[in-house]
A and B are shown apart, each in its own frame.
Chain A
Amino acid sequence: MQKFFKNIIVFVVGFIPIILRAMYVFVQAVDVKYIPPVRVSNSVSFNDKIFFCHKKIANTLAIGSSMTLNNIHSESIVNFLKSDSYLNMGSWGLCIEDVYVMLKEYAKVKMPETVFLTGSMEDFAKREIKYDNSDDIHKILTTDYMLLYYLKYPDVKYYITGVTYYKFLKQLDTTYESLKYDKYGQVKYPTKNFDLNLKRWNHVITNTILDEKNYDYLDSIAIFSHRNNIRLYYVQTPVRKGLVDSLNQNKLAQHSNRVQTILKKYNNLFIDTNDKIWEDSLFTDATHMNCNGAKIFTDYFIDKIKNAESSSAITSQKK
């Protein structure tokens, strides 16, 4: 047995210079700050948002897909709340099931008072994100030892080969993949010089194949919010004017009704913003808005919230 361990030690010791050399070359070659965040899921955007939210405590959250990431204008929300205790936890490709996971995980850190969920039909499609262990999310959000989580999720290939891509995501804001956040976590697409993709521009959201599970998860989100006294606002995002005629209005109405029914059960507010025409100039594709569009959109639904709340206040006073 001694010989065995001796050989293991010789083998490991012999390997150390190779590893050190490889690390040295790596550190020389790349900017260390662009090493991708802990790989807790297969989505770089999700991982990055968890990293961004690390040790950030807020009373108000915006959680959802890129609809939330891009379309909710931070300053408008902060003005509405009259507080900057706000965090945009939106990330690409989150479906409603992921929103539930994220909300529950954040609630383990701090129970939010208000949650904005901005969704479109696409957020009810089949789940794309795979977590290695979703129970670790709240731990990563608060840890003092992030390095330990790099060791726990040791996908060396991801960390090394992802550097160039991650740098690209963090530096550019003229592509859909941009992860250049403002101080609250929103990615603002510029109104000019954006690299438009024709396929995305003409995408018809009502062609989405819906996954029934997501309605159940919306129900779970509504119950969770109700039980924990969280004010939940669900905002249905609009589609650009040029695509309105291509939509399957029946399917959209059916979807909206289902969402509304679920939310109403627990007295949560459903805000549909498809009741007005949204000019194409406010968008970067079918549903994602540029900075200007996001501001107009956010101000619009805030007005609707104010109206709805004041009318319900009047109703309750009358009662």
Chain B
Amino acid sequence: MIFNSIDFTVFFSVFFLLYWLVGRINLKSQNLLLLAGSYFFYAWWDWRFLSLLVGSSLFNYIVGLCMSKTDDEKIQQRWLYIGIAQGILALFFFKYYNFFVTSFADAFSLFNISLKVETLNIILPLGISFYTFRTMSYLMDIYNGKIEAEKDWVSFFNYVAFFPSLLSGPIDRATTFLPQIEKERKFNYLQATDGMRQILWGLFKKIVVADNCAELANLIFDQYTIWSAGSTLFFGAFFFTVQLYADFSGYSDMAIGFSKLLGFNISKNFDFPYFSQNIVEYWRKWHISLTSWLMDYVFTPLSFTFRKYGKLGMIMAVMANFTIVGLWHGASWSYVMFGVIHGCFFIPAILNGTMNVKKVVAKGKLIPSVREVLNMATTFFIIILINIVFRAETLTKAIDFYSRIITNSPFKYPELRAPKVAVLSAVVFFTIEWIGREQNYAIQTIGANWHRAFRFVFYYALIMAIIFFSGVETQFVYFKF
């Protein structure tokens, strides 16, 4: 069941009414219904994997309780390792087994040693990376004394399986989610309308912008060898870059919007990353729930461990962090390289001590300065180029793609004329994003002071665009992670 489907619309409409009706009885029943709804939502995809989700929740719930029952740090640490090992093993088996086995055999083949390896035909359970990271952070937060272990199993199971963010995030933390689920929730009109608005914007991003751009990007990437102009390939990378952001941030907006309708505030995932002035800033604004997770549980401990090496230690920590960012996306060397390249762009910032410098682009102004425009354009250009590694299925294909951009007359006019809808939707999208860049999402305050009729006309226009200018339906890119 995906957010932009009839199935989900029916499911959510019924669930929404029941949820608030049951909420009038008591909190426990409401939370139980939420859990049942989440499991129904997950089982709709494949009921067999529901047991994995339930099993993982149960295991981590018990580990959490065991950790809280002792004051002995060593025993706590042991339980933590057991919990983390379960998460890593599940990820390893379902996501990385084939990758490591084949890479291992490939490494031996370099020395003319042929290893016969068996790969497995494994289905990747939807959302496994997201809910595993949720359970791991829960245990680490208990260990670090940030939270107490959750006693109420319904609350904890809801934290792991909360359906709006189950399949593609945001990766919420127990520290922010659990207090909300334990507190009685009252329907809040402003929060609900804000949620509706964010869902509408998310739908527009996904259906109009991402799906239209995907059509062109897929056409160019899937048969990249037939295009004779390098500019056509660059064109494909540009549209993929727009697609990736509109797709993933659109999904996140919908997830956050649906959560708001249920009375929850979950983490923000994007902060207009394509208006960043350098790659460091870009990573502060892209997939925030993942990067902040890695910052807290990987980068910070590593930089602490490597602190004796000074700036070199910091570089080591950043590179390790970004290798994990790459690997998190998938079991492929192209994703590892994607992470490593991004990590390399941090090195100058570490060396000149500007890694933590935060600048807000054109704050309070509509028009940015020339310098800001140049910085944004350069950053965006770099992101487009790096995304080729992300989109190409293998590293070999990515290298071939790059070489074709350079060698196949890069300045020749592209052979493909982009569909007007794709171009127009991208232009409208970026314009609205620019106008609303100081809000949580682009249209949060657009029309806030207008007469209701005019505001409605704006929303009608978005709905009409969704109906009449939808692209060919494509799966959410981040579902495969």
Q: Which residues of A contact B (CB under 8 A)?
A: 1, 3-4, 7, 11, 14-15, 18, 22, 42, 132, 151-152, 154-157, 160
Note all chain B residues with C-beta closer than 8 A to A18: 460, 464
CA distance A22 to B461 in the complex (A): 13
Which residue on chain B has the smallest CB distance to residue A151? B6
Pairs A–B under 8 Å by Cβ, sample size 25 = A1-B20, A1-B187, A3-B189, A4-B187, A4-B189, A4-B192, A4-B193, A7-B193, A11-B456, A11-B459, A14-B456, A14-B460, A15-B460, A18-B460, A18-B464, A22-B464, A42-B472, A152-B6, A154-B6, A155-B470, A155-B473, A156-B467, A156-B468, A157-B467, A157-B470
CA distance A140 to B469 in the complex (A): 26
Decide: B193 and A157 in contact? CB cutoff 8 A. Answer: no
Decide: A157 and B469 in contact? CB cutoff 8 A. Answer: yes
**10 shortest interchain CB distances as A-B pairs:** A1-B187, A156-B467, A157-B470, A4-B192, A4-B189, A3-B189, A14-B456, A15-B460, A157-B468, A18-B460
Q: How far, in Å, is B194 (CB) from chain A's closest CB?
A: 11
The residues in B between 419 and 457 inclusive whose CB is less than 8 angstroms from any CB of A are: 453, 456
Decide: B470 and A156 in contact? CB cutoff 8 A. Answer: yes
Note all chain A residues with C-beta closer than 8 A to B193: 4, 7
CA distance A156 to B470 in the complex (A): 8
Q: How far, in Å, is B185 (CB) from chain A's closest CB?
A: 12
CA distance A42 to B219 in the complex (A): 15
Q: Which residues of B contact A (CB under 8 A)?
A: 6, 20, 187, 189, 192-193, 453, 456, 459-460, 463-464, 467-470, 472-473
Note all chain B residues with C-beta closer than 8 A to A4: 187, 189, 192-193
CA distance A22 to B463 in the complex (A): 13
Which residue on chain A has the smallest CB distance to residue B421? A157
Decide: A160 and B460 in contact? CB cutoff 8 A. Answer: no
Which residue on chain A has the smallest CB distance to residue B463? A15
CA distance A6 to B20 in the complex (A): 16
Note all chain A residues with C-beta closer than 8 A to B468: 156-157, 160
Note all chain A residues with C-beta closer than 8 A to B20: 1
Note all chain B residues with C-beta closer than 8 A to A3: 189
Given contacts A4-B192, A156-B468, 17 further A-B contacts (CB under 8 A): A3-B189, A4-B187, A11-B456, A11-B459, A14-B453, A14-B456, A15-B463, A18-B464, A22-B464, A132-B473, A155-B470, A155-B473, A156-B467, A156-B470, A157-B467, A157-B469, A160-B468
CA distance A42 to B470 in the complex (A): 14
Which residue on chain B has the smallest CB distance to residue A42? B472
Note all chain A residues with C-beta closer than 8 A to B187: 1, 4
CA distance A18 to B468 in the complex (A): 13
CA distance A151 to B464 in the complex (A): 17
Note all chain B residues with C-beta closer than 8 A to A160: 468
Q: How far, in Å, is A156 (CB) from chain B's closest CB?
A: 5
Note all chain A residues with C-beta closer than 8 A to B473: 132, 155
Q: How far, in Å, is A16 (CB) from chain B's closest CB?
A: 11
CA distance A73 to B7 in the complex (A): 43
CA distance A132 to B474 in the complex (A): 11
CA distance A62 to B241 in the complex (A): 44
Which residue on chain B has the smallest CB distance to residue A156? B467
Q: How far, in Å, is A319 (CB) from chain B's closest CB?
A: 44
Note all chain A residues with C-beta closer than 8 A to B472: 42
CA distance A91 to B472 in the complex (A): 21
Q: How far, in Å, is A48 (CB) from chain B's closest CB?
A: 18
Which residue on chain A has the smallest CB distance to residue B461? A18
Note all chain A residues with C-beta closer than 8 A to B464: 18, 22
CA distance A14 to B460 in the complex (A): 9
Note all chain B residues with C-beta closer than 8 A to A152: 6
Note all chain A residues with C-beta closer than 8 A to B6: 151-152, 154
CA distance A18 to B464 in the complex (A): 9
CA distance A29 to B459 in the complex (A): 26
Q: How far, in Å, is A212 (CB) from chain B's closest CB?
A: 15
Which residue on chain A has the smallest CB distance to residue B459? A11
Note all chain B residues with C-beta closer than 8 A to A15: 460, 463
CA distance A238 to B423 in the complex (A): 44
CA distance A120 to B6 in the complex (A): 39
CA distance A297 to B55 in the complex (A): 61
Q: How far, in Å, is B466 (CB) from chain A's closest CB?
A: 9
CA distance A157 to B463 in the complex (A): 13
Which residue on chain A has the smallest CB distance to residue B474? A130
Q: How far, in Å, is A22 (CB) from chain B's closest CB?
A: 8
Which residue on chain B has the smallest CB distance to residue A153? B6
CA distance A152 to B7 in the complex (A): 9
Note all chain A residues with C-beta closer than 8 A to B469: 157
CA distance A157 to B470 in the complex (A): 6
Q: How far, in Å, is B341 (CB) from chain A's closest CB?
A: 31
Note all chain A residues with C-beta closer than 8 A to B453: 14
CA distance A14 to B187 in the complex (A): 25
Q: How far, in Å, is B10 (CB) from chain A's closest CB?
A: 11
Note all chain A residues with C-beta closer than 8 A to B189: 1, 3-4
CA distance A152 to B6 in the complex (A): 7
Q: How far, in Å, is A9 (CB) from chain B's closest CB?
A: 12
CA distance A222 to B136 in the complex (A): 50
Note all chain B residues with C-beta closer than 8 A to A42: 472
CA distance A132 to B2 in the complex (A): 13
Note all chain B residues with C-beta closer than 8 A to A154: 6
Note all chain A residues with C-beta closer than 8 A to B470: 155-157
CA distance A152 to B420 in the complex (A): 28
CA distance A154 to B6 in the complex (A): 9
CA distance A22 to B453 in the complex (A): 19
Which residue on chain B has the smallest CB distance to residue A3? B189
Q: How far, in Å, is B199 (CB) from chain A's closest CB?
A: 13
CA distance A15 to B193 in the complex (A): 17
Q: How far, in Å, is B463 (CB) from chain A's closest CB?
A: 7
